[in-house]
């Protein structure tokens, strides 16, 4: 894992969470622009996963593979589900869900870094 | 006079989305962890790890039931969680030997910010209030002066 990318993901997640919080406060549903923000995070996650996979294959870094990939897959699932909900629920509650999803992805990123560093 | 209809509010809409979202995240976390534990190190503590996987599956069922407004499935799932977190929580505090702190329910869900302890109560309250709402609406449907 690349630490700067992980930090970027963390910052983007917090930014999206903040944006979603604002929408909760002003009682608005998720807008498409926020989903594009989520897509940027998702793209960073995919790149990160590919890089991690390559490093693990050819490099000498070692991790608890099952644990690591379990977290990677979980992290990749969260935002798409929140996005699907944003289309189904056109009230402020979709913003609440996006907020929870963004914080979850950020937290999982933090755990991923921990898992990457141990062993 | 549509409010006279004995319908209940869908459990998966409005504020229910948040509940379903948190349930879903916990379901993902617990199930992934349970599969990992059972697949990699079942022999270390079979009872705890099988329980861990079971807890995850129950959360999956609850998430699905709440999201799709299937109350008859949601009720037992939420109640099983309540009994599970209280039983395993108590056992893990009293007898550390048999229950290593590695299931969602250990220590009353302390490893997951006590969310597993709070969630069943929220679930019960939500199932109850979405059902009751229809009843109270019916009672207050009479026109006011």
pLDDT digits (tens, 9 = 90+) for A37-83: 999 999 999 999 999 999 999 988 888 888 899 899 989 999 999 99
Closest by CA to A49, choosing from A102, A98, A114, A116, is A116
Q: Which domain holds residue A13?
A: 3-117
Contacts of B110 (CB under 8 A, 6+ apart): B101
B36 touches chain A (CB under 8 A): yes
Cα(A39)–Cα(A73) distance, integer angstroms: 16
pLDDT digits (tens, 9 = 90+) for A9-45: 999 999 999 999 999 999 999 999 999 999 999 999 9
ipTM of predicted assembly, 2 dp: 0.79
Number of other CB atoms surrounding residue B48 within 10 Å? 20
- B10, B21, B33, best to mutate vs chain A, most A CBs in 10 Å: B21
Contact at CB, A89 and B14, closer than 8 angstroms: yes
Regarding pTM above 0.80, the answer is: yes
- Predicted local confidence at residue B145, as pLDDT: 54
- Predicted local confidence at residue B138, as pLDDT: 55
Number of other CB atoms surrounding residue B116 within 10 Å? 28
Nearest-CA distance A8 → chain B (Å):
23
Specify the residue for token string 């969310």.
B115
């Amino acid at each position: 894992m690349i630490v700067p990318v992980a930090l970027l993901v963390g910052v983007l997640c917090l930014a999206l969470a903040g944006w979603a919080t604002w929408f909760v406060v002003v009682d608005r549903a998720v807008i498409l622009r926020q989903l594009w923000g989520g897509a940027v995070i998702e793209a960073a996650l995919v790149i990160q996963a590919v890089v991690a996979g390559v490093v693990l294959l050819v490099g000498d870094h070692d991790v608890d593979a099952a644990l690591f990939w379990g977290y990677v897959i979980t992290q990749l699932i969260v935002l798409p589900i929140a996005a699907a909900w944003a289309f189904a629920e056109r009230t402020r509650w979709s913003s609440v869900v996006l907020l929870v999803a963004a914080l979850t992805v950020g937290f999982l990123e933090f755990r991923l870094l921990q898992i990457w560093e141990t062993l | 006079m549509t409010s006279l209809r004995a319908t209940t509010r869908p459990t998966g809409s409005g504020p229910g989305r948040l509940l379903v979202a948190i349930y879903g995240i916990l379901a993902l976390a617990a199930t992934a962890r349970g599969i990992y534990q059972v697949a990699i190190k079942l022999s270390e503590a079979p009872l705890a790890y099988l329980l861990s996987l079971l807890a995850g599956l129950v959360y999956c069922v609850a998430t699905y039931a709440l999201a799709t407004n299937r109350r008859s499935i949601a009720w037992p799932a939420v109640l099983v969680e309540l009994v599970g977190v209280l039983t395993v929580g108590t056992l893990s505090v009293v007898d550390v030997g048999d229950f290593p702190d590695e299931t969602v329910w250990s220590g009353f869900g302390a490893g997951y910010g006590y969310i597993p302890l709070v969630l069943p109560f929220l679930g019960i309250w939500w199932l109850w209030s979405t059902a009751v709402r229809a009843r109270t609406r019916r009672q207050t449907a009479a026109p006011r002066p």
